[in-house]
Structure 1
Amino acid sequence: MGGKSLILILILAAFTSYLAPGDERNLALCLLIDNSGSMDWSGHDPEGLRWEAAKLVIDKTRKGDYICLIDFSDKPFLLQPLTRIDGSPAQKREIKERSGLILSNRKLTDIDSALKAALDQLKTVPSRITKAVILLTDGEVDVVEGTPQEKKAAAETSKSVILSKTAYRFLAQKIPVYVVALTDEPDMDFLGKLADYTKPPQQEKENHFFYSPTSTDLVVIFSDIFNQLRGLSVHTERYKVSGSETKRIHLLDPFADEVEFQFIHDQNLDLEVKLISPDGKRIKPYASEGSYKLFAVRKPLPGTWTALITTPRTTNITQSVAVKEDIKLDMPFAPKFRIGSPLKIILNVKYKGELIDSPRFTLPDGSVLQIEGVWYKVIHPDGRISPEFKLQDRFGDYVGSYDGADIPGRYLVQAEMRGKLNDQEVIIRSEKHVIGFADESLPKVALRRMDNTKYKIGLPVQVEADVLENAGAMHKESLPLTVKGPDGSSRTIYLQRIGRERYRGEFTPERDGTYILLLARDDEMALADPTTLQIEVIGGSGIGGKMTFMLVGFVLVGGGLALYLRRPKLEGIFRRFERVKTSEPEETTQADEEEVMADEEENLGVSTVSVSADESTRQMPSEIEVMENGEVALKLNLIRKTDVISGEPFYHVEVQKGELRFNDRIIAAGESTKAKNGDTLKVGPISVRIVADEDKAVIISDLETAGRLLEEIRDQEVVRWVIRHDQGGHEEAQENV
């Protein structure tokens, strides 16, 4: 019995958190259970809590869902073919009984064949159903009998096939894999990649990787994943009960359409939970097993609910309130972070999937929601709870950072929006699990030292970076590099990945002097020396010098010709200037000022236009800057390209500074994305929808605000946007022009 692996895979076709509230869709679910001997012998799950987790998922399915059961070790065995749930308790009871059958030989563990069997089951699922996978494992692949060297080589080959081929099949069919590692030392290089490689772009900020050192949290983790797939807002509380105890649950959410009260506990058949509504009615559980009790209520009454809990012995309980609602808290920040770096937090309040970017929001029925603020706290892996912090409101993005994470593990971020609906108190809660990992698992990156330290003006300078350690954990396709010039200027270039361990890029110096090249810091990688290089640039010579001389000659001749052709307009400008200089001051009409401004801008080839309050469609800019209090808060470049496969146009969006909201996720400085027709960008207080086919941007936020804050600057064929969100910034810009 050499197989050391515990795998449980739930193949789910389900709600995602991106479905609008009220959009009811069924799910198809396949429980794929690895039954190798290490499940019991290695002490990972001696009490068989994996079966309780499987039962909970079966109980949480609803009429119209699909389910199948597969048991495997060296090969898969079908326990229950894909079956449509009819909603009857008898059918669910029969399926739960079959979940405990064992058909495998409990030796080897072939994850790849199990995943392929699951895909084969899912091919009969109707196309309207989205799909997902949950993989529970203790992290080791064991596919052959033999010597330790032979077993290790075969396992590495199997992992490579899973990541390079099988994972691609899941991604191509839009089936993300949720990974649950039942171990205190998860194989991040394999399991973390499997979760990342199968994650669709729109789910980039979702958490698809979970781990637990023991099986005690398996039922809770499975419940968390299922609630995430259903798109429910969850708030969790943990406590112990001995004897009898009364728990008060405050539900102050008038937007709740459906709520599920979940009590997950240690194995205890004698534990009893009675749930009482605010108006005194007793609610019966719709599912009850030795480790959980589930209650569901439609259109729940706001107020205080009461849970009466009795048990003959001390029992650990995880109480969760999962709510389906029209207004919810979205948490689109990264699902993992590096210990020693701040945990960056961002939250949004949304109404039926649309961002609420103002503290005051009027609902369709005329009622008014006044948001007082959003607060959060962090629960550490060892149970410590941080103080409560208030997030800063930035145009509907509630942002902050937590510096107290100090040990690797699974952190829980709990958030709470407080406000009033027509003077009635409102509290909306949500939470998200994130993984804190230590530096040792990060790839180490350093700049490659240059053989030559002197370069010439006008000639490209190539820069390279090497991945020194953990190249397999490096997922970035480009690295931002800051180039500081001799005049104090600074710009960012991007080194593109040219190999597993190499990045390369270039820039062209425009003046002589000392240049400093600085590799940007990132939470997903560690930096090693050298992170900074210094080079000297000297004046050009030879052909380059001759070409420069010829170019200057052409510019002078061409400029003289242009001035000659423009002499009538220039004479007009000089006459007006002379009149002002030699005559008594005379009143200038607005028409005269506009004529002078137009003449000057035409001769410069530059124009500045404020967006009209009734004009929503504009030419897509190649650069956008958002100014806050005189400083650049956000800067991004947009390059229009054509997809070589589909032939459809798109924009390559690079964020150089700040954070860009792209659809439902955040693109940070140094990152890039692909924007297509229908995608939305939120730049400061202005939101636009992309029309790539026509090279247009449609302003979908308040046009009056856009007309007041947005300036469109044209330089020949190039269009730039400057959004000034500081007091008096717009008037100052017009004065400067």
Structure 2
Amino acid sequence: MTMSQPECVNSIAGQRGLPQWAWARLLSFFCVALLGVFCLTPALAGSFDLVLLIDESGSMMTTDPHGARKDAAELFLRLCNAKHRVEIAGFATDVRLLTNLQPMGPGATRDAALKEAKQILSSGQRTDIEKALRSARDVLMRSSSPDTTKVVLLMTDGEVDLKEKSDPQKKGLEEKSIEAIRGPLLSKYLQDNIKLYTIAFSPESDFNLLSSIANATGGMCARGDKEDELQKLFLRLFEEIEKPQTAPIKDGAVLIDGSVHEATFLIAHTPQETSRVSVTPPDGTAVNRAAAERMKNYSWFSSPSFDLVTVTDPKGGKWKIEPHGKDADSRVMLITDMTLELEDFAATSRGDEQTSLLAALKSKGTTVDAPEILGVLTMEATLTARTRTVIPLIDDGKHNDGPANNGLFGGAYRTPSAEGTYDLEIIARTPTLERRIVRSVRVSQPWFRFQLEREAIAPGEELPLKATVDREKITAGLMPEFIASVRQPDGQLSEIPLAQALDNLYSASFDSTKTSGAYRATITGSVKLADGKVLRDTIGPLEFMVRAAVGPVAVPVVTPPPTPAPTPVPAVTPAPAHHETPEPTPTPEVVKVVEKVGTPMWVWISILVACLTIIGLLVYLVTHRSGSARVAAPSMEALRERASQIRQEDYDTTEALPAA
């Protein structure tokens, strides 16, 4: 039997094109992709791979008798999210793995890690810091991708301890281990871009060693000797590693704006105040732990010294926390599109030098410069050393901030003269939005400096490596030794000793430059002092390129520590006085103004590309389906004639059948 024209049309369409459900799914995919373009933002929280090393030596029975480091480790893990991979290990004579490197977002994996963290011991015989650091590096190099931030956090109450005091080999072995930590091992940390953070938890800990190796990698050393300080130390290091956006707290009140997707309230309290802990949103209804358990957007964890309350999509307005007697120890961490950022911040500098500071409020990575916002936006920084120094930040074109009213707020401060690590707090405020960030300022006075003469050379060309000794620290007559380590693009490591060229200058030439690419160099210096002690430090890395086409001008490069002194900044002048007008205009809401003027160009380009893609798909779909149906549609007369033919064919078939 022949096929009718409508059947033929449907059949051809089915053979030549996709079914309707497939087209619907494909179109849905592109619509979702377009929606994703609208929602694209830079990463709102950092990601890292971290190995947490906890001292399990027997001395911890005395310095931490109640296991406060277990609670501190728990706080650290609970502050982490799915972007943070953490491994926990205890160390003493050997390294004892407690958990593998795995994401620490809420769920069964983190719950298991928290359980294992409670199994930290205090029964080890020795303290092998070198072995612990080597083990942590091996984990990160084996398990982390090259572009992942790699971190080691080591907490100890002691110093390198490898043998019994009566063992004649004790002194020699421990000195050799310390030299290895300060030299080859630290050089590997620098070459591999691993940041080291340390906690020296007792007066007996080797603070000199722990702080010098942490600072050399761009990390930080925190110091304390009381159990109730441990959680504060871990919290401060988490802030330094993660660099979260926070909101300032004053008298228990905190301002949350409409750009905040998630707020985590860390409420510090005494054990007696646990039952009083609550958060109060702008509507005035206090929420305690019992009430939060019935609310989908609340997550609550309690401990004797802190509560951790996470609220998704929090309402904009003034929130309050109770109790608020420990505002300095409490935090409100935010996941938000509106961030406070520092520009070209030098974390390491020499002492007693003028340093510029530049900050900006950004929306999805773009500096906010809308006049409506700049008119009500204020910023200031506070440097805490022996005294607190307040640094006004002003956007007027007179404070190293570029043109006036460009959204960059500048100021200057003088670094402390004493070596050490100091906290720098920056706060931005408008009537509807507040942000706070904390950064560390490291003051370093190294006894030598490492220098490359050029930042780029041609293949096969030699590159001079130079170390300059500070003779105010290392007097004439003392003979330092320097060894440079250079990692080539293929991963091969070359070691080059430097020879004395002048009284305070040591140099060598690196000639293994046949392969084009990026090279990284570190240098280890050691000198035996008059009292017999050996001073050993490693600094770097400095990076240089080997490429075929190199400009004729040599560019000197010196990288910290320490940072070269910046151009002197004029003294900070006070901001112009604000004169009230008879009829003040309403304060603009930052988020709404930014939504109108702050969309980056790359977002618009992405939207345009997505729209063109969808339009092209629809055009193709229409032309394809219309092409499939180009067979002329039958008229009503033709359909009636065909129906009559079918009835006649059926009648003829019936007549031809034999009788039953």
> Per the shorter chain, which TM-score range?
0.5 to 0.7
| Alignment deviations for residues 262-291 of structure 1 (CA, whole Å, 9 cap, x no partner) | 123456684541111113453555322222
Measured in 2, the distance between the counterparts of 1:251 and 1:413 equals 21
The one of 361, 371, 383 equivalent to 2:370 is 361
**Aligned partners of 1:231 and 1:324 also within 8 Å:** no
Residue in structure 1 matched with residue 211 of structure 2 by the alignment:
192
Distance 1:303 1:23, change over 3 A: closer
**Aligned partners of 2:49 and 2:144 also within 8 Å:** no
Shift of 1:160: 1.6
| Alignment deviations for residues 113-141 of structure 1 (CA, whole Å, 9 cap, x no partner) | 11222234335535264321112234621
Measured in 1, the distance between the counterparts of 2:557 and 2:210 equals 30
Residue in structure 1 matched with residue 283 of structure 2 by the alignment:
279
Secondary structure of 1:227's partner?
A: helix
Residue in structure 1 matched with residue 191 of structure 2 by the alignment:
172
Measured in 1, the distance between the counterparts of 2:328 and 2:269 equals 4
Shift of 1:58: 1.9
The one of 308, 317, 327 equivalent to 2:338 is 327
Residue in structure 1 matched with residue 652 of structure 2 by the alignment:
none
The one of 301, 305, 311 equivalent to 1:291 is 305
Paired letter, 1:361: A
Unaligned runs of 5+ in 2: 1-39, 293-297, 450-466, 484-497, 508-542, 569-600, 602-660
Greater helix fraction, Structure 1 or Structure 2: 2
Structure 1 residue 375 corresponds to structure 2 residue 380: yes
Measured in 2, the distance between the counterparts of 1:352 and 1:653 equals 36
Shift of 1:30: 3.3
Residue in structure 1 matched with residue 596 of structure 2 by the alignment:
none
The one of 141, 156, 170 equivalent to 1:137 is 156
Secondary structure of 1:360's partner?
A: coil
Residue in structure 1 matched with residue 319 of structure 2 by the alignment:
305
Shift of 1:346: 1.0
| Alignment deviations for residues 10-36 of structure 1 (CA, whole Å, 9 cap, x no partner) | xxxxxxxxx974366754443321111
Secondary structure of 1:81's partner?
A: coil
**Aligned partners of 2:53 and 2:88 also within 8 Å:** yes
**Aligned partners of 1:416 and 1:427 also within 8 Å:** yes
**Aligned partners of 2:49 and 2:86 also within 8 Å:** yes
The one of 639, 643, 650 equivalent to 2:545 is 643
* Greater mean deviation of Cα atoms: 323-332 or 158-167: 323-332
Structure 1 residue 432 corresponds to structure 2 residue 452: no
**Aligned partners of 1:74 and 1:104 also within 8 Å:** no
**Aligned partners of 1:139 and 1:191 also within 8 Å:** no
Distance 1:280 1:21, change over 3 A: farther
Residue in structure 2 matched with residue 99 of structure 1 by the alignment:
117
* TM alignment of 1:509-528, pairs within 5 A: none
* TM alignment of 1:65-464, pairs within 5 A: 65-85=84-104, 87-88=106-107, 91-102=109-120, 105-123=123-141, 125=143, 127=145, 129-138=148-157, 140-147=159-166, 150-183=169-202, 187=206, 189-199=208-218, 208-234=220-246, 247-251=251-255, 253-266=257-270, 270=274, 272-280=276-284, 282=287, 284-309=298-323, 318-331=329-342, 333-335=345-347, 341=352, 344=355, 346-351=357-362, 354=365, 356=367, 360-361=369-370, 370=375, 372-380=377-385, 385-386=388-389, 389-391=392-394, 392=399, 394-395=401-402, 398-402=409-413, 411-419=422-430, 425-434=432-441, 443=447
Shift of 1:109: 0.5
Shift of 1:97: 2.8
Measured in 2, the distance between the counterparts of 1:370 and 1:666 equals 34
Q: Which has the higher contact order (CA 8 A, sep 6+)?
A: 2
Shift of 1:403: 5.8
Shift of 1:252: 5.3
Measured in 2, the distance between the counterparts of 1:434 and 1:464 equals 24
Residue in structure 2 matched with residue 683 of structure 1 by the alignment:
none
**Aligned partners of 1:259 and 1:324 also within 8 Å:** yes
Shift of 1:234: 3.2
Shift of 1:334: 4.2
Shift of 1:321: 1.8
**Aligned partners of 1:342 and 1:401 also within 8 Å:** no
Distance 1:418 1:134, change over 3 A: same
Measured in 2, the distance between the counterparts of 1:344 and 1:184 equals 33
Distance 1:181 1:436, change over 3 A: farther
* TM alignment of 1:20-39, pairs within 5 A: 21-22=42-43, 27-39=48-60
Distance 1:652 1:137, change over 3 A: farther
Residue in structure 2 matched with residue 502 of structure 1 by the alignment:
504
How does the TM-score come out when normalised to structure 1?
Answer: 0.50
Paired letter, 1:145: E
Secondary structure of 2:231's partner?
A: helix
Residue in structure 1 matched with residue 473 of structure 2 by the alignment:
469
Structure 1 residue 52 corresponds to structure 2 residue 54: no
Secondary structure of 1:415's partner?
A: strand
| Alignment deviations for residues 656-709 of structure 1 (CA, whole Å, 9 cap, x no partner) | 9xxx9x9xx9864499xxxxxxxxxxxxxxxxxxxxxxxxxxxxxx9xxxxxxx
Measured in 1, the distance between the counterparts of 2:383 and 2:105 equals 41
Paired letter, 1:377: T
Shift of 1:465: 6.3
The one of 41, 58, 61 equivalent to 1:40 is 61
Paired letter, 2:282: P
Paired letter, 1:256: V
**Aligned partners of 2:381 and 2:425 also within 8 Å:** yes
Distance 1:436 1:32, change over 3 A: same
Measured in 2, the distance between the counterparts of 1:106 and 1:142 equals 11
Shift of 1:75: 0.8
| Alignment deviations for residues 327-351 of structure 1 (CA, whole Å, 9 cap, x no partner) | 3333454446677x26735132152
Paired letter, 1:276: T
Greater strand fraction, Structure 1 or Structure 2: 1
Measured in 2, the distance between the counterparts of 1:500 and 1:261 equals 58
Unaligned runs of 5+ in 1: 1-18, 200-206, 239-246, 446-462, 478-495, 506-640, 672-701, 703-737
Measured in 2, the distance between the counterparts of 1:642 and 1:442 equals 22
Measured in 1, the distance between the counterparts of 2:73 and 2:428 equals 33
Distance 1:499 1:131, change over 3 A: farther
Measured in 2, the distance between the counterparts of 1:289 and 1:500 equals 61
Measured in 1, the distance between the counterparts of 2:221 and 2:564 equals 21
Secondary structure of 2:277's partner?
A: strand
**Aligned partners of 1:262 and 1:319 also within 8 Å:** yes
Measured in 2, the distance between the counterparts of 1:253 and 1:55 equals 29
Measured in 2, the distance between the counterparts of 1:380 and 1:51 equals 30
Shift of 1:56: 0.9
Shift of 1:466: 4.8
Measured in 2, the distance between the counterparts of 1:386 and 1:25 equals 29
Secondary structure of 2:100's partner?
A: strand
Shift of 1:380: 4.5
Measured in 1, the distance between the counterparts of 2:42 and 2:555 equals 30
Q: Which has the larger radius of gyration?
A: 2
Shift of 1:249: 1.8
Structure 1 residue 62 corresponds to structure 2 residue 81: yes
Secondary structure of 1:328's partner?
A: strand
Paired letter, 1:503: L
Shift of 1:198: 3.1
